[in-house]
Structure 1
Amino acid sequence: MPPGVYGMQDVWEREGWQQINIEFLLPTGIYLNFPVARSDTISTIKKMVWKNARNEPLFSALSDPDAYVFTCINMTAEREELEDEQRRLCDVRPFMPILRLVAREGDRVEKLITTQISLLIGKGHHEFDSQKNHEVNEFRTKMRTFCEERAQVRQMLPWEPWMEFNFPCDLEPCSVVAQSGKSHSGKKILVNVKFEGSEVSDQNTSSLWSIHEPFYIYLLQGSRVNADEGMKVKLLILFTCLFIYLHLYIDCPLAWVNTMVFDYKDQLKTGEFSLSTWPSVPGDLLNPMGTVEKNPNIDSTAGLLIRFPNIRPHPLYYPPIEKVNFCGKKYNHLKLREIVDNKNYTEFFEDEKELLWKLREEVRQRYPESLPKLLLITKWNKHEDVAQMVGLLRKWQDLPAIHALELLDYSFPDPHVRSFTIRCLGNFNDELFQYLLQLVQVLKYESYLDCDLTCFLLERALSNKKIGHFLFWHLRSEMHVPSVSLRFGLILEAYCRGSIFLIKSLMKQNEALNKMKALNDFVKSGSQKATRIQTTEDMKVCIKQDTYMEALSDVVSPLNPSIVLCELCADKCKFMDSKMKPLWLMYKDKYDHVGIIFKNGDDLRQDMLTLQMIQLMDVLWKTEGLDLRMLPYGCLSTGNKTGLIEVVKNSDTIANIQRNNSNSAATAAFNKDALLNWLKSKNPGDKLDQAIEEFTLSCAGYCVATYVLGIGDRHSDNIMIRETGQLFHIDFGHFLGNFKSKFGINRERVPFILTYDFVHVIQEGRTNNSEKFERFREYCEQAYKILCRNGTLFVNLFALMKAAGLPELSSSKDIQYLKDSLALGKSEEEALKNFKVKFNEALRESWKTKVNWMMHSFAKDNR
């Protein structure tokens, strides 16, 4: 059956088809059809066309071959001109086996770049054009100019700054981290908003503050509501100064949609607007965290038609900064007094709010880091208060960038606040990379495409190759999410415009990932029909094909742009036993071997977040002179449930070590000598003392880290040890106290893993070596106290990740575990006392861990 019947995408993945019949449409109206090899370049194919066309009519009407270019319909359903004639047909991957020859016209380079960017980001530029949206068009124009200007500046850099851009140092983030304030989500349920009386009125400026009427909207029509005709569907509306939240419900939520009161030009909206809703999550009454984008699936979702009234015959604007400052100066005569510092992170009483607001100037002067608390009690529907707050912000000293991160939460939507926040984030240097994951997520809270955060991230990405690399992949990995695909796609397009020289490398990475996915699908299919040994051999044969070897070799590692994955060692590659059959790929270069794991079917973003927190803990500990030998290995989500994990060489799981050093699988989990004997075998003579020290330090670090983060599913296959003695944890599918249970019984009954075989290693195999164990306990207590002193930072970073939509981190309630484990609001003495109780419990109940490990081993062996 010809390839066109199935679609060419199937053909490109069916590696056995080495030749494909292609239909060629010539500009003279002549039709040709002949087979070409999948590995042929476009240049070779063009020569073959000319050779075959010589015997056809109207051949003399054709000009020189260079005057023409092939076009096809690519995988993004877009017409693509194949300008790069050194590309192979299998890399072009046309949707159908049809190539049309057309005369060249326009800017060849520009067309090639546009096509490459569309393929790279997975969204054709025609999709942006089809929006017919002024905001989108203006944003694209502005960001293209912004990025291209910075690219030109970069080209003019002297040698040293150019080296710093291309080869940024792998420095650890800034070591000085202090506590910051707590985020509170205010409760705003209003049916009608009225801006309270104002003495400011200036018709010439068309200021919103000249209006005294209540603000309202009309609901004109609802459509496609999934409910029986007899049911009464209700609409819940929540107004704030900037947003309108709408929620359809009967007895339970049906759908929601958010929209702005002002457009991206700060003009009060007027006229009719059609809003396509998003499906509700059961239990959520409103979704203030949700996007302000409409659902693109307009045919299958409930729709609302609303109208904003024309309050005045002329446009009304949110007051400009000059007007805000003028209004604010009238209220600066209040006397200042002391402020009550809310150290217990509790909700404010009304009298405390009044006092805090009354003494706001003193807050600015003496307690600048309490800005989030002041913002949360500001009456944003009263423009005198807004004027006061904005005036204060202009005078407010920059907060440490670490503290300013909290202000990116959705609780602080005011554009002046967000501008102030970005100003503070400008104090980040190389340590910005440490928080890039959160900064990408809070882009989802931005009301408009053109915002300070987007410009800030693009500017940093275009001035630091490492930041740019990871910004690209953090955005690219969520392009399948409808609510952010437009925003993220536009930012990706802008970044690529400013990084033309990196497009080829990024496309090579993308092609390698596509090949890994195809290989993984092949393994999954094969493992259902054949033995593991046979499937592994078939996998190696597949890898050794030219198309795979070429695509998977000499590619920049998405995990680390400073590493090039050179030569793929096909004979050392394998797949792993877990359900999704992850690929284990090994590379070699001049000096060493590098391994990566490709996973397809698991969301790695939770692992990324956990490893980011472990990396941050490591920095905080080292800052205070405590090196606990942590190992936050590389992990990167690259697409919808796909991603890469770094292979930690010369390491093995606790489970394997116990099984290989025990006579019986049934008793392996209870063999307390297995770990120590293994370390002895890997570290003969004087090396053993250092290995035990590595084990002691790293065990302390991971005991504290897994307790604080509430890491679950801690069995012996998820804890590993390097031959040097360094212990580390892997696979973080459960955190924040979401522990596994079986038949309703909690399988994990200890605060963290501290088994007697671990203690046996720490005590060097001597049961009476209490001095070594007490030193281990001191490491744990010291590490815990350091984290408690920085507890608010961890809470804020997790809060900013709520936008990611992780199943175990979707609301403020999910973060309560973290607040409890870090003892927020308690003294250091109280916190340490509680930790000591947990430490003793982990040691006393460690036998339960052993039983759990034994049951896990049995279940694994009997699969």
Structure 2
Amino acid sequence: MTDTAKMQSPRYCYVYSCELEEKLQIKIGSLEGHGFMQDNFASVSDDSRSLACADLAITCHVVSTTRQLTLPVQTSYRAFTNRLNWQEWLTLPIAYSHLPVDAELIFSICGLSKTGEQFVCGTTSIPLFNKYKVYQNGMQELRVILTVEAESGVVDTCEDIATINLLSELTKKHRDGRIQKVDWLDRLTFREIEQINEHQKRVSKQTYLMVEFPQVFYKEAKMDIVYFEIGGEEVVLHNSTPAKAMFHDSNLSMSNLVEDKHHKLARTLRSGTTDKDLKPDNATRDLLHNIVSSPPTTSLSSEEQDLLWKYRYFLSSQKMALTKFLKCVNWQNRQESREALELMQKWEPINVEDSLELLSPIFQERAVRQYAVGRLMQADDEELLLYLLQLVQAVRYESVDDIKSSVAETAVTSGVTQNVLDEALIDVEDDITALQITEPEDPADIQNDLISSIELPKAGEMNIVSFLIYRASNNLVLASYLYWYLRVESEESPAQSHTSNEVFSIFLKRFMDSLRRYNANFYRKILSQQVFMDKLLALIHMVATARVDRKKKIEKLQSLLADTETFGKDFSFTSFEPFPFPLDPTRLVKAVVPDNAYLFKSAVCPAKLTLVTTLEERYTVIFKQRDDLRQDQLVLQMVFLMDKFLRKENLDLKLTPYRVLATGSKHGFIEFVASQAVAEIQESDGSIHNYLKKHAPAADNPLGISKEVMDNYIRSCAGYCVITYLLGVGDRHLDNLMLTPSGCLFHIDFGYILGHDPKPMPPPMKLTKEMVDAMGGPGSEHYKTFTDLCFSAFFHLRRSANLILNLFSLMVDANIPDIVLEPDKTVKKVQDKFLLTLSDEEAAKEMQGLLEASVSALLPAIAETFHKLAQYVRK
């Protein structure tokens, strides 16, 4: 409002700050006062920052008490004179609606030195909202604090300062209408006040920056900007009762003497004879059953531990109860631990898969871990291969001293002195240079050549390292995988501790030394794998670093593979002595077909290689570099393992657990499966249904697709829906869903697992409308078969949840990307997927809801559209 309107009308006109989307503006006026006179800044301590010939500019930005809200905005530079005048409007990059109530405008006076360096001469500030939360308006005079000390100046007296403050306060009251306005007297008074202010500025050493805030008008009425937040008018209910005061009890961290005495009495060894005949009642038996059947990650309370100890003899006939019993033992108590170990040997032997829990970091007692190894000796080589990846990881929880001592003991019992053993712990690379491969062997030798001079130590007297070396020395497939697992773990990694690296290095050297001494045939074959890998890495590096397009790179790859001299006279990719291929050691390969080599469209240039076996078969693999395949390797191991479980239950879901092997932290092999991405199928054939109908037509069936192919499709969809849900596989789109002509659908590219996903609100299962339409729609008989298979697969795998959880617990400290993010939550995430806290009926309802939510999810369909657009732009 104008001044006259204010006197005539009691109305107060204002607008809320949250309703203004305009950017802030501030007018920089002039810089006045004695402080910035040129004579006062003839020189500064640093000659390079002399103000003798400097130009000045004003910068301003908005801050709050917690952070800076905008970047600085600057005026033009003005030549240094006794009075600097800009009269420039600056627009700041923030709207009124975004201002917090504590927003403050910071001004800096910047000078340019002789050398062109910009530095701050002075600063000042002003809050954007006054104490009444009203935005500043009109002309404001801001006192500048100099950061460059002047050489002269007049000190202000307290009387002068008081006079100036009084006049300023009276002027403000007059402007607000609190002093009666007399026109002729006001003109004389304000002229006199202006002269006083000008005089004070001339004689004072102070400097003032004149700035002007814009005024808001609406229909010729002046409006104030009042701070207001969106939703500020809402009524907030609060409890008027004061909160309870919380005080820390220092005794909480201390042990309870009564409870300690109770636990000691509950576990008194003098009652051992009585405990042997102790039988629980029905209620206690049910409680014990719940404790024993709980997941391996369950933490036992002190009461539950005492109960397990009390009925330990009764439970000794139940094999599943051993791991829970060993958790309740106080291993610091010598008598108690001795009795527990004696009882462990008399306990009903646990299953091989349950012994994996005893190799986790929870159990550090040497005798317990040796007992677990003794149970693993009952497993055949095929079963051992299922868990080999985790058994290698279990080595990191062994004592380094124990491993070193076991190496020495094994050497002595084998007739090898410690000095000879130390000389034998050499790098593999030293033997690769001297490798001499003998004449080609018959493929049958892979299964028949199992001779080893290493004697099997007694059960319960070896650690996991000695056990794996013994078993691998008698099986080439185990030896090959063990070598590459150890090779990867022995690499220096920032995420891996020095102790873990030392343990795996000792393990690898001990393993290779044992092979060299007692099974030279295996030793030569593994060295042949390493030679091939070194040559292949060199070749792929030459291709990937070539600055040509992909077509030229493919030609270069094929020419290098066909060249017989690039990689030395003793090696050629077109013909080499047969050796077991690392990805599948049951295949003896002897050559690479150069003309079939191919590079996929990718930044890491994956190479497709076709190998020739000694049986004249073609074996196609993909080699990736600059890509960590250990996460894919873990997921495919789980897919293979779950497929085994389901087949044991006579449930074949037509899964495709193709092989993946990481041969280093940044490279590895992937088995190639002839298939096509669903995204490509929809682009070329229009739908999954058309694709299946084209490859397996059957006019007598309702959907026009052969019964076998449709059965393969339904079963594989059900299997992968359940498995990817349990493993929390993310980033699912139609480019990493593959389909074979026989109808088998499978997933690739497992860059996100355990619930991690780059897309917002991903569905629990990857089940799109297109996938369901290929079955005939949600109301079809095929879809009902699909849901029945999902339920069957889930409940069969649910019964094997403990084994899967034990395997993941051994991978917690492995350098797997999505496990490293939250290692303490890894096992819990997988456990939650099994819905172990629910009954079978409740779990079935939950699964039904997950399937329905996945089919009807809208956001994934939108994300798929954006993914297709992104892929189109890339092409």
Contact preservation (8 Å) 1:344, 1:826: no
CA distance in 1, matches of 2:574, 2:756: 37
Contact preservation (8 Å) 1:329, 1:391: no
TM-aligned CA distance change 1:475 to 1:497, over 3 Å: farther
CA deviation map 1:68-101 (0-9, x unaligned)? xxxxxxxxxxxxxxxxxxxxxxxxxxxxxxxxxx
Contact preservation (8 Å) 1:604, 1:642: yes
CA distance in 2, matches of 1:494, 1:825: 47
The within-5 A match list for 1:126-275 is none
1:487 CA displacement: 3.1
- Of 467, 476, 486, which aligns to 2:487? 476
Contact preservation (8 Å) 1:476, 1:492: no
Contact preservation (8 Å) 2:630, 2:665: no
CA deviation map 1:761-781 (0-9, x unaligned)? 222xxx586111111110111
Structure 1 match to 2:521:
501
Structure 2 match to 1:407:
358
CA distance in 2, matches of 1:565, 1:190: 66
TM-aligned CA distance change 1:699 to 1:796, over 3 Å: same
Give the aligned residue type for 1:574: Y
Report whether the alignment pairs 1:357 with 2:309.
yes
Give the aligned residue type for 1:561: P
- Of 583, 588, 608, which aligns to 2:633? 608
CA deviation map 1:497-516 (0-9, x unaligned)? 33211233222211211122
Contact preservation (8 Å) 2:604, 2:626: yes
1:401 CA displacement: 0.5
Structure 2 match to 1:642:
667
- Secondary structure of 1:522's partner? helix
Structure 1 match to 2:510:
490
CA distance in 1, matches of 2:666, 2:696: 39
- Secondary structure of 1:645's partner? strand
Report whether the alignment pairs 1:371 with 2:371.
no
Structure 2 match to 1:386:
337
- Secondary structure of 1:539's partner? helix
Structure 2 match to 1:136:
none
- Of 728, 742, 751, which aligns to 1:724? 742
- Secondary structure of 1:724's partner? coil
CA distance in 1, matches of 2:636, 2:336: 42
Give the aligned residue type for 2:584: N
Contact preservation (8 Å) 1:572, 1:585: yes
TM-aligned CA distance change 1:656 to 1:802, over 3 Å: same
- Secondary structure of 2:609's partner? strand
Report whether the alignment pairs 1:511 with 2:531.
yes
Give the aligned residue type for 1:336: L
1:491 CA displacement: 2.8
Give the aligned residue type for 1:827: S
Structure 1 match to 2:838:
826
Q: Which has the higher contact order (CA 8 A, sep 6+)?
A: 1
Contact preservation (8 Å) 2:732, 2:766: yes
Report whether the alignment pairs 1:835 with 2:835.
no
CA distance in 2, matches of 1:330, 1:468: 50
- Secondary structure of 1:577's partner? coil
CA distance in 2, matches of 1:514, 1:329: 65
1:368 CA displacement: 2.8
CA distance in 2, matches of 1:460, 1:503: 14
- Secondary structure of 2:316's partner? helix
Contact preservation (8 Å) 1:473, 1:638: yes
CA distance in 2, matches of 1:647, 1:508: 22
Structure 1 match to 2:563:
545
Contact preservation (8 Å) 1:515, 1:552: no
Structure 1 match to 2:279:
337
Under a length normalisation based on structure 1, what TM-score does the superposition of the two structures give? 0.57
- Of 532, 550, 555, which aligns to 2:550? 532
Runs of 4+ in 1 over 6 A off after TM superposition: 327-330
- Secondary structure of 2:585's partner? strand
TM-aligned CA distance change 1:802 to 1:600, over 3 Å: same
TM-aligned CA distance change 1:440 to 1:552, over 3 Å: farther
CA deviation map 1:556-602 (0-9, x unaligned)? 21111111233322111111222211111112456542111111122
TM-aligned CA distance change 1:498 to 1:732, over 3 Å: farther
Report whether the alignment pairs 1:683 with 2:625.
no
TM-aligned CA distance change 1:684 to 1:496, over 3 Å: farther
- Secondary structure of 2:331's partner? coil
Report whether the alignment pairs 1:442 with 2:394.
yes
1:698 CA displacement: 0.5
Question: Could you say what the CA RMSD is over the residues aligned between the two structures, in angstroms?
Answer: 2.5
TM-aligned CA distance change 1:693 to 1:538, over 3 Å: same
Report whether the alignment pairs 1:856 with 2:867.
yes
Report whether the alignment pairs 1:459 with 2:410.
no
- Of 335, 342, 348, which aligns to 2:300? 348
- Secondary structure of 1:478's partner? helix
CA deviation map 1:8-37 (0-9, x unaligned)? xxxxxxxxxxxxxxxxxxxxxxxxxxxxxx
CA distance in 2, matches of 1:456, 1:514: 29
Contact preservation (8 Å) 2:358, 2:372: yes
Give the aligned residue type for 1:400: N
Contact preservation (8 Å) 2:808, 2:826: no
1:739 CA displacement: 1.4
1:711 CA displacement: 0.5
- Of 758, 768, 784, which aligns to 1:774? 784
- Secondary structure of 2:514's partner? helix
Contact preservation (8 Å) 2:730, 2:750: yes
1:751 CA displacement: 0.7
Contact preservation (8 Å) 2:316, 2:347: yes
Give the aligned residue type for 1:573: A
Contact preservation (8 Å) 2:574, 2:593: no
Report whether the alignment pairs 1:758 with 2:786.
no
CA distance in 2, matches of 1:652, 1:332: 68
1:612 CA displacement: 1.1
Report whether the alignment pairs 1:659 with 2:680.
no
Report whether the alignment pairs 1:816 with 2:828.
yes
Structure 1 match to 2:208:
none
Contact preservation (8 Å) 1:781, 1:832: yes
Structure 1 match to 2:377:
426
1:328 CA displacement: 7.9
- Of 618, 627, 631, which aligns to 1:593? 618
Under a length normalisation based on structure 2, what TM-score does the superposition of the two structures give? 0.57
CA distance in 2, matches of 1:635, 1:523: 23
- Of 800, 810, 820, which aligns to 1:790? 800
1:332 CA displacement: 4.3
Give the aligned residue type for 1:432: L
Contact preservation (8 Å) 1:508, 1:551: no
1:694 CA displacement: 0.9
TM-aligned CA distance change 1:369 to 1:344, over 3 Å: closer
Decide which moves more: 371-380 or 559-568.
559-568
TM-aligned CA distance change 1:855 to 1:798, over 3 Å: same
Give the aligned residue type for 1:580: V
For these two proteins, the number of residue pairs brought into alignment is 518
Give the aligned residue type for 1:562: T
1:610 CA displacement: 0.8
CA deviation map 1:368-422 (0-9, x unaligned)? 3121211112111111111111111121121110111111101111111112111
Report whether the alignment pairs 1:621 with 2:665.
no
Give the aligned residue type for 1:545: D
